Amino acid sequence: MINKKIIVGVVVLVVVVIIVFRIFSGSTSQPTVNAAPAYITSIVVAKGVDASGNPVGASTVFSSAKDKQIYIFLSLKNATKKTTLAYTRYLNGTFVDSKVMHPTANGLASMYFAFEKGVGNYPKGDYRIVSYVNGKRSVETTYSFQ
């Protein structure tokens, strides 16, 4: 009989300790579920961007003398502010530059990198853009300046 009272007392004590621990630790929420990983669904090169942030004049061939800016648009899925987006750009197989940026809001559907011509013309040739999401190679595209 005493053994049953001891067992019941221990069970009650354990339940009380668990409740007190949860109250003071603030761990009453459900476990966190990992979100789906971010990825790029498509990449588009264009001559411009409209007021809504969409590509204008999508193309793969540009004029070295006439086109002053080009934009590389990335369509995104599951991107958050913590997602790292990057590109590496090559001209005729030789590294040109790279850049990293982060979405400005969770769930952002697209972003773009802008390239503006400095003094003179864009170097003529075949360009390749390789994109990365969180350090992992993603999609790529090519375009040229003639």
Percent of the chain topping pLDDT 70: 77
Which helix (H) or strand (E) is 10 found in, with range?
helix 2-25
Q: Which of 130, 123, 129, 128 is closest to 146 using CA atoms? A: 123
Q: What average pLDDT does range 96-122 have in this prediction?
A: 91
Q: What is the pLDDT of residue 117?
A: 84
The CA-based dihedral angle spanning residues 58, 49, 38, 127, taken in that order and rounded to the nearest 10 degrees: 50
Cα of first residue to Cα of last residue in the chain, in angstroms, is 95
The strand order across the sheet containing 69-77 reads 55-58, 39-49, 69-77, 110-116
Domain ranges of the chain: 39-145
> Does the 39-145 domain belong in CATH 2.40.50.140?
no
